[in-house]
Structures are given as C-alpha cells and as structure tokens.
C-alpha cells in the first residue's frame, strides 16, 4: 500500500485502457468510515482491543501513527488492528493531523482519558470548509474549555459531565465524537439531531460491547449514560457500503457481471431503486450482491445528497461518473459539501456534457465517453473518475491517485482482477 508520508514529492498516476467489461467476485472489508472512529474508541480502555477485517488504506495507517504518537501500542496484524495501553500524550502531531480529517475523532477520547487535547485544524480532502465548530460545541457542552490559538485547537477539562446537546447539523463526525466523550462522562448525555448513518450504529455497538450504555443509535436522539471504565474486546466492523457502491456503479457503467460478497444488502437495494433500467439488474441475497449490466443506462433523474437516509455525499462522484456514461439527463444536487464538484470539470475532458449551477449539476449523457487525461482532486472524486476512465473508449490517464489510496485498498488491483486494465506508474520529479 502506498504511504503518503514516505513518498513526499513522488507523484503516481493510473494508465487505463477503457472499454473492458467487468467479471468476477469481490469481498468487502470493514468500512473506512467506521474503522477510523472505532480505532479512536479503542483508546477509551488501556486493555487490548482488536478490530478485525480492516482495509489496508492510507487513512488507517495514518490513524495508527497518530495513536502511537499519543503513547499507545497500535499495529496491524494481518487484517486486524490491535491497540493496547493508555495514551499519555495530549497533542496530535501537526504533520499527521494535516493529513487526515478523521484525526478530530480522537479529541473526545483524549479529553475523557487525559483531560486535555490539542490538535491543528485537521486536513483531508479539499471538498469544502468542513468546520469543526459542531464538534467543539458538543465537547464544550460536556464541560470542555475550547481555545483557538493560531491554527491550534486546545481543549481542557477537569472532568466531563453529561448534558443535553442539540447539534446544528446531523454531523456524523460530531455525533461520534460526543458519543465517545460522553461514554466516560459523569451522568447522562442526550444528543439531539444526531446523525443516523449505519456507521453511528456500528460505533455504538462496539462501545456497548466494551461496557458503555448507549441507546438510540440510528435515530435522531441518542442517550449515553456514563460508566466508570470500558474493557477491551474483539470487534468486526460493518462492511464498506461506499466501496460496494463504487463497485456497483463501475459494473453498471462498464458492463459485465460482478458478485460482491459481505455486502450490506440495504445499501445495494437502495442503489438498485435509483439505478432503474432494463439494461441492468442488481440483486441482493444472503450477503451477496450480484450486479449484471448489458446495455447503456438511461438518465437517472434527480439525485440529492444529504444526511442519512438521503443519498450519501461519498457516492456523489461515482453516480456522476455513471450519469456521464448514460444516455439521458441526470440532475445532482450536493447539499453536504460546497466544493465537491472538482471531478466534474475533469469528466468534461472525457467528453461529458455538464452544466453547474451553484450546488446543482446537470449531466447530459450521450451514451459514451472517450479517453483523456485527468487529475484526482479528492478521494471519492478520484474513484468516480476511475470509473469513467474504465468505461470510456480508448486510453486515459488519472494523476494524483494517492488521494484514492486514502479510502480504497489497491483499487487498481481490485478492478484489474475483474478484467479492467489499470497500471500504476510512479513519477519521480
């Protein structure tokens, strides 16, 4: 797996020969969007915790580096992540915080264990402002003192206390942060307007197995009764619904037949209701989703992203790529991030016809794309561009692909095993 930290200054690109159908089977591992907060939650105990079936991706590697910098043991054992020992350092190293937005998940845990936490404003993909004010509001309501000193966030507490907290937006990260901080706080905490994503339920399930008392996860009101201590456990996270959606979109765009095992059926059924066509079939049974595609997809109508159960913003780029391959019109409205359309300008290089009006994009598919040279600007946008390149006629290049490695384990090998032709090229300046 490529390492962003060890390859500073080195560029990588994908060379893609498009027009190949996809055939075969893929098994999903644990979801990136749940594994990262689960690692943060594991630090609420100094006992050994094992998180199984974890993807070997850059964001997980970065999270483990941060955990070790905080003083705990953290390492990969095959597909398992193992953490052990009490954290002792209250400062997240700046160079690591700048690599990954999810470093903010650790603040609630650090406050609970150490009573203090410091970090620079977290990094990640350039898809919008993504302010941390909702996180800070929640942690502040539990009794933390929040200070902004230059680009540093400092939180201190002489003991967190339960509170009623109403979030201004059902932020997934803020909901998770407050859940973790409240687990060891004194008294009862109620999160109102909480995020309802399946990843929230997964985190609550793990924390409850560790000894927490959390109810209501998956609804807009979550209650947490603080406990004195948590224990180490072994836990298997939910499979990655965004990787599943990426595979489904790619198969429909390229044609062929792909089986996705260990697949969240509810999400594949949800996509099946959106991708309605006589030219493809998406069927889920016994944890296996089978995708068959044998023609050009018509336009998809209007798709609007938003908090669960609305269409996930992390699938917006992939569905845009599919729309660009269709024969018809699709309207996409992005309600979560204000700067998540960079990939659309790259899609135009393959011949896509796209008009952007603020947070709305109109994509008029012509039934085909042609190869071209593109650049990935962010994780999910890069995955969408790869789908378009695989479906396009002729050769394409996709540069800056290490942003894709943040959330997909060897994505080029996954698709190549299904019949795509993708080569990773390292460019040394």
Confidence check: pLDDT of 417 > 80: yes
**1 pLDDT more than 50:** no
- Catalytic hit among 125, 254, 263, 325: 125
Q: Cβ distance 165 to 185 under 8 Å?
A: no
How does residue 126 score in pLDDT terms, banded at 50, 70 and 90? very low
Q: Are strands 327-333 and 301-304 parallel, antiparallel or unpaired?
A: parallel
Q: How high is the pLDDT of residue 9? A: 64
Average pLDDT for residues 56-73, to the nearest whole number?
96
Task: Give the pLDDT confidence of 319-349 residue by residue, as tens digits.
Answer: 999 999 999 999 999 999 777 899 999 999 9
The per-residue pLDDT for range 208-217, each reduced to its tens digit, is 999 999 999 9
Q: What is the pTM of this model?
A: 0.94
Beta bridge partners of 222: 191
The residues pairing with 285 across neighbouring beta strands, listed in sequence order, are: 288
Summary mean pLDDT of the chain: 93
pLDDT tens digit sequence for 6-37: 455 678 999 999 999 999 999 999 999 999 99
Q: Which of the four pLDDT bands, split at 50, 70 and 90, describes residue 98? A: confident
Residues 247-291 pLDDT 10s: 999 999 999 999 999 999 999 999 999 998 999 999 999 889 999
| Contact by Cβ (8 Å): 319, 309 | no
Q: What are phi and psi of 94, to 5 degrees?
A: -60, -45
The two three-digit tokens of residue 393, written as one number: 């006629």
Strands 152-156 and 116-120: antiparallel
Tell me: pLDDT of 357 over 70: yes
Domains observed in the chain: 5-28+239-427 (3.65.10.10), 32-235 (3.65.10.10)
Query: Rounded to 10 degrees, what is the CA torsion of 93, 95, 100, 104?
Result: 30
DSSP 8-state symbol, 55: -
Residue that the structure tokens 């598919």 belong to: 365
d(CA 242, CA 267): 9
Alpha-carbon distance 348 to 364, whole Å?
A: 11
Residue tagged 């393959």 (tokens): 350
* 280-285: strand order across its sheet: 22-27, 256-261, 288-293, 280-285
Catalytic site includes residue 254: no
pLDDT of 3: 42
pLDDT of amino acid 127 = 41
Summarize the confidence of residues 294-306 as an average pLDDT: 95
Instruction: Assign 3-class secondary structure to 79-95.
Output: CEEEEECCCCCCECCHH
Query: DSSP code of 425?
Result: E
Q: What is the pLDDT of residues 368-384, one digit of tens each?
A: 999 999 999 999 999 99
Place of tokens 């990588």: 12
């Amino acid at each position: 797996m490529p390492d962003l930290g060890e390859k500073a200054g080195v560029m990588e690109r994908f060379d893609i020969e498009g027009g190949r159908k996809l055939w075969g089977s893929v098994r999903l591992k644990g979801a990136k969007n749940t594994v990262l907060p689960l690692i943060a939650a594991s630090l609420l105990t100094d006992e050994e915790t094992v998180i199984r079936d974890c993807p070997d991706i850059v964001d997980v590697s970065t999270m483990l580096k941060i955990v070790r910098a905080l003083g705990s043991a953290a390492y990969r054992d095959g597909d398992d992540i193992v953490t052990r020992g009490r954290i002792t350092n209250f400062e997240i190293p700046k160079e690591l915080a700048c690599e990954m937005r999810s470093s903010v998940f650790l603040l609630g845990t650090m406050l609970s264990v150490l009573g203090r936490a410091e970090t620079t404003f977290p990094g990640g993909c350039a898809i919008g402002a993504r302010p941390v004010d909702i996180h800070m509001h929640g942690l502040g309501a539990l009794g933390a003192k929040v200070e902004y000193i230059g680009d540093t966030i400092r939180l201190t507490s002489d003991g967190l206390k339960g509170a009623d907290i109403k979030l201004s937006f059902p932020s997934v990260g803020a909901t998770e942060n407050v859940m973790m901080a409240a687990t060891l706080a004194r008294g009862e905490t109620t999160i109102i307007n909480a995020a309802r994503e399946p990843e929230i339920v997964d985190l609550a399930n793990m924390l409850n197995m560790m000894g927490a008392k959390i109810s209501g996860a998956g609804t807009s009101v979550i209650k947490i009764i603080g406990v004195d201590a948590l224990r180490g456990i072994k836990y298997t996270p939910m499979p990655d619904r965004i990787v599943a959606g990426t595979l489904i979109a790619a198969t429909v765009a390229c044609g062929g037949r792909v089986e996705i095992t260990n697949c969240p059926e509810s999400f594949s059924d949800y996509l099946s209701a959106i991708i309605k066509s006589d030219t493809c079939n998406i069927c889920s049974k016994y944890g296996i989703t089978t995708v068959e595609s044998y023609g050009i997809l018509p336009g998809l109508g209007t798709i609007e992203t938003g908090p669960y159960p609305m269409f996930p913003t992390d699938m917006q780029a992939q569905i845009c790529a599919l729309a660009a391959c269709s024969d018809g019109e699709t309207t996409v409205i992005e309600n979560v991030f204000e700067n998540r359309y960079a990939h659309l300008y790259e899609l135009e290089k393959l011949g896509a016809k796209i008009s952007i009006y603020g947070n709305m994009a109109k994509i008029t598919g012509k039934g085909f794309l042609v190869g071209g040279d593109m650049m990935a600007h962010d994780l999910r946008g890069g995955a969408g561009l790869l789908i378009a390149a695989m479906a396009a006629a002729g050769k394409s290049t996709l540069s800056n692909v290490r942003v894709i490695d943040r959330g997909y384990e060897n994505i080029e090998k996954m698709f190549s095993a299904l019949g795509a032709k993708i080569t990773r090229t390292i460019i040394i300046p």
